[in-house]
Amino acid sequence: MIHSSIQTGLLLLAILTVGCATHPAPRPTTEPVPLAAQTTAIPTPLGMKPVPTLQAFFPEQNTTHTAVVVCPGGGYSGLMDTYEGQDVCRWWNRHGVTAYLLRYRVSPNRYPAQLNDAQAAIKMVRQQAKSLDINPKHIGIMGFSAGGHLAGSAATLFHNKSDRPDFAILVYPVISMIPPYAHGGSRDSLLGKNFAPGLDQQLSLQLRVTDNTPPCFLVQGKNDKVVPWQNAQMFADALTAHGIKNELVFLNNGPHGFGLRTPNPAEGDWTLQCLQFLQTIKMLPANPEQK
């Protein structure tokens, strides 16, 4: 369910991003726009921040006409909105991509509040796309850890074309809510400890892939001691079984929480592989500037 305040948020986002006639260029960032009638402040590395909100980050030049909604991790109990949030949005900006930082609801809010926030964000970006010179068919979602589970949920549990992302990027993602590979902390924060029977299977995303799931890029460290690497493998296997374009990059030296870094430079830069994948599926132009 999308809250009635979305229309107000859309108007505010349009004012913040389009600007007035004498200053048509959008500002580098906007203030966060509420995604619900009521927002709650939670502590993040960037201070007390209201959730759920969507904050836009604009490139100096809109060279790709593509947008990405970024979902930081935090075990569904907090939000790492620095190196898995603002830093990621600015990285996208350097490649000519418009980025949106989603600060979604966390515990004690339970499912489906978080998915509602992600779907509201995708809808908001898509409804504003043409006014910002964004292709409404080039809107993706990216998530880290529990944020990867949220991004994967958006890619598999969408209602229709309005809230379906056109691609998903999952970085050391939580995928399964079922032992032995579940991340217990994320499961408990998302579902509560006394969840309805079967809800853990319903939200084990390797079981929710269909022929309509969008293309996905995944990166995972083999030595991740927090979220087992099998999470990413199971999801990639399900995508392949359904004929969905995907790429899974394993890093031998990739402990949990590496953000945009490649911990061992000898393994190459996974972010460049990500950009190349998006070129392959026609979500980025053939030769975007890479920084």
> What is the pLDDT of the chain when averaged over all its residues?
90
| pLDDT at residue number 120 | 97
The confidence band for 28, taking pLDDT boundaries of 50, 70 and 90, is low
Whether pLDDT at 150 is above 90: yes
Mean pLDDT of 85-102: 98
Q: What is the pLDDT of residues 157-210, one digit of tens each?
A: 999 999 999 999 999 999 999 999 999 999 999 999 999 999 999 999 999 999
Is the pLDDT at 23 greater than 50, yes or no? no
What pLDDT score was predicted for residue 16? 36
d(CA 31, CA 138): 23
Cis omega before residue 165 (within 30°)?
no
Percent of all residues in the chain with a pLDDT value above 70, rounded to a whole number: 89
For 46-89, the pLDDT digits (tens) are: 999 999 999 999 999 989 999 999 999 999 999 999 999 999 99
Distance CA 255, CA 253 (A): 6
Cα distances (angstroms) measured from residue 247 to each of 215, 227, 234, 266: 9, 19, 13, 20
Per-residue pLDDT at 9 exceeds 60: no
- Confidence check: pLDDT of 261 > 90: yes
- Report pLDDT for 36: 84
43: alpha, beta or left? (left if phi > 0; alpha if psi -120 to 50): beta
Per-position DSSP letters for 225-238, written without gaps between them: SSS-THHHHHHHHH
Regarding predicted confidence, which is higher, 181 or 8? 181
Coil, helix or strand at residue 154: helix
**What was the pLDDT predicted at 289?**
55
